[in-house]
Amino acid sequence: MSQLEFIPPARPLIGDEEREAVDRVLRSGMIAQGPEVAAFEQEFAAHFVDGRETVAVNSGTSGQHLGLLAAGVGPGDEVIVPSFTFAATGNSVALTGATPVFVDIEPDTFTLDPEAVRAAITPRTKGVMPVHLYGHPFMVDELSAVAAEAGIAIYEDAAQAHGASWNGRKVGTLGDFAMFSLYPTKNMTSGEGGMVSCANAEIARNVRLLRNQGMETQYANEVVGFNARMTDIHAAIGRVQLTKVDNWTAQRQRNAAALDEGLADLDGVVTPVVRDGAVHVYHQYTIRVDAAERDRIREALKDEHRVGSGVYYPIPNHRLPSLARFAEGLHLPETERAASEVLSLPVHPSLTQVDLDRIVTAMHAVMGAGA
């Protein structure tokens, strides 16, 4: 068995086209934010968010932070966030000086529970930041109704959901702003980077100002800003990836269907739920297993079958040392259960049919061994 090639849980795909694009920018002598970034913004906006004004930044986290600042979030405000997500979601709220208010998830999709959001709204609530976790849209109709009724904003964390949609409405067009991440393990990459899709010209202008030292005109700084610019080197990579991402997403979806079928009859495994009306882009293919068995399953997949897997995320954010001060005494049972049960199997577009068969066979062997 040891000569089997390891199947990694994620694999960024970088080809000759990306290498040539980087070389072109390097040879141009202009490598900081310039024409490649401007072109990437336009192309990304046309591709994913129906042409909404979109601003490129140096990471998804920067995009989320600047988006919140641009939307006017600051000290004294509360923003409702899931605890079951990557720490950047709550961090970006905390970095503005506002308070992240952690609420529980709905167990089928692992996304924010709209009724729990309703119960957490106070007079200080400025908005809610749902995450399209694993590439499945949040509960758009239910949560939008709650937000509209309370008069609070929606800020989308679309870091994992390039191309996902809900009844024909694209993620990234559903809130005041949406952040997409371009980190290497996401569905497409620019090396590092982020995109902020903005609902109106004012938010977009604010993000542009904050990205570049608060300047629209050189040396006429209007507000205190950051250097959160994307480079043309990164944008050139992203532009090439944009021409490939739809094929990759289709491959992710085919891989997920093969895994669904292969794991359907396996006791002790709950395969991903896709709600009617949702287009899931499978950033992750995440199953549930018995919490007491998960570590054994992961180890056996890796050691006996050379199949990588991941746990996203093992520690709910409201219990992280960095964020726990916002959540004293808080108990989120569905979040805790998910954190102890989830297991993500490889679903990335470079898997072969042989890889998919190996993953299914390995899961059957490993689950059988525990029974």
Ligand X SMILES: *Cc1c(COP(=O)(O)O)cnc(C)c1O
Instruction: Round to whole Å and give the CA distance between 310 and 198.
Output: 32
Q: Which residue among 126, 186, 244, 302 is the active-site one?
A: 186
| Contact positions vs ligand X (CB under 6 A) | 59-61, 85-86, 88-89, 131, 157, 159-160, 181, 183, 194
Contacts of 186 (CB under 8 A, 6+ apart): 60, 159, 160, 162, 180, 283
Least distance CB 132 / ligand X (angstroms): 8
Least distance CB 370 / ligand X (angstroms): 30
Instruction: Characterise 141 by phi-psi region: left (phi > 0), alpha (psi -120 to 50), beta (else).
Output: alpha
Strand pairing class (153-157; 177-181): parallel
Least distance CB 64 / ligand X (angstroms): 6
Given the complex with ligand X, which of 102 and 360 has the nearer CB atom?
Answer: 102
Given the complex with ligand X, which of 189 and 255 has the nearer CB atom?
Answer: 189
Six-digit token string for 102: 């952690």
Given the complex with ligand X, which of 109 and 269 has the nearer CB atom?
Answer: 109
Given the complex with ligand X, which of 161 and 362 has the nearer CB atom?
Answer: 161
Least distance CB 366 / ligand X (angstroms): 27
Given the complex with ligand X, which of 54 and 160 has the nearer CB atom?
Answer: 160
Instruction: Round to whole Å and give the CA distance between 165 and 279.
Output: 5
Least distance CB 69 / ligand X (angstroms): 16
Least distance CB 151 / ligand X (angstroms): 25
CA atoms within 13 A on the CB side of 205: 7
Instruction: Round to whole Å and give the CA distance between 323 and 317.
Output: 7
Instruction: Characterise 277 by phi-psi region: left (phi > 0), alpha (psi -120 to 50), beta (else).
Output: left
CB atoms closer than 10 angstroms to residue 369? 11
Q: Tell me if residue 186 is catalytic.
A: yes
Instruction: Round to whole Å and give the CA distance between 364 and 203.
Output: 50
Task: Say whether 336 sits in a helix, a strand or coil.
Answer: helix
Given the complex with ligand X, which of 165 and 181 has the nearer CB atom?
Answer: 181
Give which of 114, 165, 105 is closest to 135, Cα–Cα: 165
Six-digit token string for 104: 């529980």
Active site residues: 186
